[in-house]
């Protein structure tokens, strides 16, 4: 099955809700990798009262070289890290 990278887009929009509601059907035609920080995903799903099962989540991190690594498997999610040299810092202390 083909792999597909999907950006969540504007967190203030409806992208995350569409993702959660369509994940099962989308997974029948491809292997989606959702680019969103795990903490943000968990908070949004809780707020929407939705679940995302058997999904692959990818978060960016700053790295000297390009790397794509499986960090952990957690609550039926596979959490990956995509490192790239962009001098990027993610602030995980946020509320939605």
pLDDT band at 13 (very low <50, low <70, confident <90, very high): confident
C-alpha neighbours within 13 Å on the C-beta side of residue 77:
23
38-48 and 15-26 are packed helices; what angle lies between their axes, rounded to 10 degrees? 90
* DSSP bridge partners of 77: 55, 74
What pTM value is reported for the model?
0.78
pLDDT tens-place string over residues 26-77: 999 999 999 988 888 888 899 999 999 999 999 877 777 888 888 889 888 8
Q: Domain limits of the chain?
A: 3-84
How far apart are the C-alpha atoms of 95 and 58, rounded to whole Å? Answer: 20
Q: % helix / strand / coil in the chain, to the nearest 5?
A: 25, 35, 40
* DSSP bridge partners of 84: 62
């Amino acid at each position: 099955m083909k792999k597909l990278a999907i950006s969540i887009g504007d967190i203030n929009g409806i992208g995350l809700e569409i993702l959660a509601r369509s994940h099962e059907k989308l997974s029948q035609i491809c292997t989606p990798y959702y680019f969103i920080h795990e903490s943000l995903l968990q908070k949004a799903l809780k707020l929407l009262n939705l679940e995302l099962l058997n999904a692959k989540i990818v978060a960016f991190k700053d790295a000297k070289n390009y790397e794509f690594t499986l960090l952990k498997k957690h609550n039926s999610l596979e959490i990956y890290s995509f490192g790239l040299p962009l001098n990027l810092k993610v602030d995980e202390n946020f509320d939605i």
